[in-house]
Chain A
Amino acid sequence: MVTKLAEKQQSSPSTGGKSATKWIMTLLSSSIGQKFVMGITGLLLCGFLVVHLAGNLLVYVGADAYNGYADKLHSMMLLPVAETGLFLLLFAHMALAFKLTRDNERARHISYQEPQSKIEEKPSVFSQTPMGNTSGWMFLSGSIILGFLVWHMIDMKLQLNPTVDYDGKKPYGIIVDVLGSYISAPIYIVGTIVLGFHLSHGFSSAFQSLGLNHPKYTPLIKKLAIIFALVIAVGFVSLPLWGFFIR
């Protein structure tokens, strides 16, 4: 440790800069760099959510609109690329989530008897929950989301939901069945509500991780995060509610 700086000062200042791989590695291996990736991937996933929600809300317009949207989507040449990208984002987000959570648990190897928050005004809906301060609530919510996503893939990609009859159905028919399924509906309801909580912290947190903070707009972002989380959660949760109870 002692020598690090000494060496730095003795070696002549580099003129050409570090090689690309080297600085990327340092970035990605540092705690802040990893949080940076968390934030970027999280926000990109948020972007996906917006598009995804917009598309899905078409079920309320009617079968034709929804089928049209689905057909167009599936006819896109770039869809596999986009899906791979999406998967990679999610994978990176999750892999880092596991890594950072494990690091964090190690950093506080012995816990306190009864830790109590000193925050007087809770910044987000998320931390107002009773679990707001228990270690790894983001991780827990993330894991629930993961469970939900896995099921969602089973429903939509693998088409293996035993309560849904996929044969010869148009997308609209499938989605209506899925949303009405007594297995899927509860999972979707829980999954998307938890997603809302995840975002109520995650959305504003990402800005902080990316270094985007200013007294002028940070309070705004915090409010926006709550609104965003609400819109996403309400939007998505409405679908299984509609599918299961109303239809």
Chain B
Amino acid sequence: MSETLDLTLKVWRQPGPDASGRYVEYKLTEISTHMSFLEMLDVLNEQLNEKGEEMVAFDHDCREGICGMCSLMINGQAHGPDSGTTTCQLHMRRFKNGDTIVVEPWRARAFPVLRDLVVDRSAFDRIIQEGGFISANTGSAPDANSVPIPAPVQETAMDAAACIGCGACVAACKNASAMLFVSAKVSHLSTLPQGKPERDSRVQSMVAQMDLEGFGNCTNTEECQAACPAEISVSNIARLNREFLRAQLCSKE
């Protein structure tokens, strides 16, 4: 029932943030097609450990596609070949016997490599901290049903709120732009009535931080949307642009 694969991996190995890295080739045999991609890497690591080589470091946690911790550029594609899928949900049945698979870390100046395939995505947190919230101190909230929100508005907000913060959009964009990520949060909050009071300051601060972190600019090539495991739409980027212009042109700040 279960088939197996023999594979060649070319994995980026880099001992530390300031060290230089290189691709190292590994051969794997009898990989079950039912394995997830990360389980395949587990197998590799077990074998490396046995041979006395240090394991390949890669980020992961939930392994069910929601925490956004896993990453990996697999054969030049963020999260591998499947659309709407994180690396942890990618399965080996997607590959063929004899395949060579190149595994690289996310590459962006704003996401420096820490070790092997692990990168530092704290830039995202700093963007959120500048405005990716609604200021509502604990205890100050009115009854949840006091402001009705039309279902379509709700749906739009939810679509955008589904972002898992993985950074695949940055990784896949030829300019390493973070616009999809930022636009998802701005869209989520600015479409909801609760988010309106801070609408202008939010978008201005978040965009300023995004620029400061050294992400590239959006050239509307839409690779981010194709790579996004949460299927965030680029229409959010247009909304971000709109919100930003509106804030610049109409607000008092």
Direct contact of A and B (CB under 8 A): yes
In the complex, chain A residues whose CB is within 8 Å of the CB of B227: 118
In the complex, chain B residues whose CB is within 8 Å of the CB of A109: 107, 109
Question: Cβ of A115 and Cβ of B76 under 8 Å apart?
Answer: yes
Tell me the complex Cα distance, A30–B245, Å: 11
The interface stretch among A55-63, A82-90, A187-195, A211-219 is A211-219
**A167: Cβ under 8 A from any B Cβ:** no
B129's nearest neighbour on chain A, judged by CB, is: A5
**A138: Cβ under 8 A from any B Cβ:** yes
CB-defined interface of B241-253 with A at 8 Å, one 1/0 digit per residue?
1111100100011
In the complex, chain A residues whose CB is within 8 Å of the CB of B102: 113-114
In the complex, chain A residues whose CB is within 8 Å of the CB of B149: none
Question: Cβ of B78 and Cβ of A118 under 8 Å apart?
Answer: yes
**B216: Cβ under 8 A from any A Cβ:** yes
**A209: Cβ under 8 A from any B Cβ:** yes
B72 CB → nearest A CB, Å: 12
The interface stretch among B43-51, B137-145, B203-211 is B203-211
In the complex, chain B residues whose CB is within 8 Å of the CB of A107: 108-110, 175-177, 214-216
In the complex, chain B residues whose CB is within 8 Å of the CB of A111: 107
A23's nearest neighbour on chain B, judged by CB, is: B248
**B230: Cβ under 8 A from any A Cβ:** no
B225's nearest neighbour on chain A, judged by CB, is: A119
Interface size class of B (residues with CB under 8 A): 35 or more
Determine which of A104, A110, A118 lies in contact with B107 in the assembled complex, contact meaning CB atoms within 8 Å.
A110
CB-defined interface of A110-151 with B at 8 Å, one 1/0 digit per residue?
111111111110010001000011110010000000000000
Question: Cβ of A108 and Cβ of B241 under 8 Å apart?
Answer: no
A73 CB → nearest B CB, Å: 34
A111's nearest neighbour on chain B, judged by CB, is: B107
Determine which of B173, B212, B241 lies in contact with A35 in the assembled complex, contact meaning CB atoms within 8 Å.
B241
In the complex, chain A residues whose CB is within 8 Å of the CB of B81: 118
Question: Cβ of B242 and Cβ of A211 under 8 Å apart?
Answer: yes
CB-defined interface of B209-229 with A at 8 Å, one 1/0 digit per residue?
111101111111111001100
Interface size class of A (residues with CB under 8 A): 35 or more
**A75: Cβ under 8 A from any B Cβ:** no
Determine which of A106, A115, A116, A201 lies in contact with B220 in the assembled complex, contact meaning CB atoms within 8 Å.
A201
Question: Cβ of A116 and Cβ of B75 under 8 Å apart?
Answer: yes
Tell me the complex Cα distance, A120–B227, Å: 11
CB-defined interface of B179-220 with A at 8 Å, one 1/0 digit per residue?
000000000000000000000010011011111101111111
B203's nearest neighbour on chain A, judged by CB, is: A32
The interface stretch among B33-41, B52-60, B89-97, B232-240 is B232-240
**B4: Cβ under 8 A from any A Cβ:** no
Determine which of A106, A110, A127, A208 lies in contact with B241 in the assembled complex, contact meaning CB atoms within 8 Å.
A208
B239 CB → nearest A CB, Å: 7
Given A1-B126, A113-B102, A118-B227: A211 in contact with B239 (beta carbons within 8 A)? yes
Question: Cβ of B175 and Cβ of A5 under 8 Å apart?
Answer: no
Q: Which residues 152-188 in B have Cβ within 8 Å of A in the complex?
A: 172-177
**B130: Cβ under 8 A from any A Cβ:** yes
- Show 25 residue pairs from A and B whose CB-CB distance is below 8 angstroms, ordered by the A residue: A5-B130, A8-B201, A15-B252, A16-B252, A23-B248, A30-B208, A31-B215, A31-B217, A32-B245, A36-B245, A100-B219, A107-B109, A107-B177, A108-B109, A108-B216, A112-B107, A115-B77, A118-B223, A138-B219, A201-B220, A208-B220, A213-B234, A213-B238, A214-B235, A218-B235
Given pairs A106-B214, A107-B110, A211-B243, 12 additional interface contacts (CB within 8 A): A5-B131, A26-B208, A35-B241, A104-B217, A107-B215, A107-B216, A109-B107, A205-B220, A207-B238, A209-B220, A213-B235, A213-B239
| Interface of A toward B, CB cutoff 8 Å | 1, 4-5, 8, 14-18, 23, 26-27, 30-36, 100, 103-104, 106-120, 123, 127, 132-135, 138, 201, 204-205, 207-215, 218
